[in-house]
């Protein structure tokens, strides 16, 4: 599966750390930013894939799991460090689950919202990637 954990450059300081995303940290220009918070621990988010959109997911606070599926392989990635993010390319089904109390999930996206880019039905996703 073509996912990648990317180390976010940081400046360590006794007053607190500073993480920086600029220039060539991501393989795309950021066109949309959103975040998830107050997600109940027994809830899940996602449940879709994208045709063109790429995403970079960062656990700003707390932890959660991202279940990734390319139609052949499933992989679960635990995100719990705010200086590491998960790059999800196009054509990968994702579900976010097991949110810890107080967790905040930041998503940086390669494009603005476009409903036609979403694949929300798993059977349709399998047809899309196997065409």
User: Which strand (E) or helix (H) includes residue 2?
Assistant: none
59 contacts 104 by C-beta, under 8 angstroms: yes
Of 92, 88, 64, whose CA–CA distance to 78 is shortest? 64
pLDDT value of position 131:
80
Give per-residue pLDDT as tens, 3-16: 899 999 999 999 99
- Report the domain count for the chain: 1
Mean residue pLDDT of the chain comes to 95
Residues whose CB is less than 8 angstroms from the CB of residue 33 and which lie 6 or more positions away in sequence, other chains included = 106, 107, 108, 109
Assign residue 71 a region: left if phi > 0, alpha if psi is -120 to 50, beta otherwise? left
Domain-located, residue 88:
yes
Domain-located, residue 49:
yes
Domain-located, residue 16:
no
Beta partners for 19? Answer: 10
Domain-located, residue 18:
no
Angstrom distances, CA of residue 29 to CA of 38, 54, 94, 107: 28, 10, 21, 13
Range of 99's domain?
Answer: 4-11+29-129
Confidence of residue 125 (pLDDT cuts 50, 70, 90): very high
Domain-located, residue 119:
yes
pLDDT value of position 130:
87
pLDDT, average across residues 120-130: 95
Q: What is the CATH number of the domain that holds 117?
A: 2.60.120.10
Domain-located, residue 55:
yes
Task: Give catalytic residue positions.
Answer: 48
CA distance 29 to 42: 33
Strands (E), 24-63: 32-37, 45-50, 55-61
For the cut 80, the answer to whether the pLDDT of residue 1 exceeds it is no
- Stated pTM of the model: 0.93
Domain-located, residue 78:
yes
């Amino acid at each position: 599966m073509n996912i990648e954990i990317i180390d976010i450059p940081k400046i360590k300081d006794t007053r607190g750390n500073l993480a920086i995303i600029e220039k060539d940290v991501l393989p795309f220009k950021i066109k949309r930013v959103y975040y998830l918070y107050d997600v109940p621990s027994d809830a899940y988010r996602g449940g879709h894939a994208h045709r063109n959109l790429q995403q970079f997911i960062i656990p700003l606070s707390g932890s959660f799991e991202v279940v990734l599926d390319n139609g052949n392989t499933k992989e679960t990635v635990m995100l719990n460090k705010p200086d590491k993010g998960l790059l999800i390319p196009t054509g990968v089904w994702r579900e976010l689950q097991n949110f810890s109390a107080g967790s905040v999930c930041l998503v940086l996206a390669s494009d603005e919202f476009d409903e036609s880019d979403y694949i929300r039905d798993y059977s349709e996703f399998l047809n899309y990637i196997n065409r």
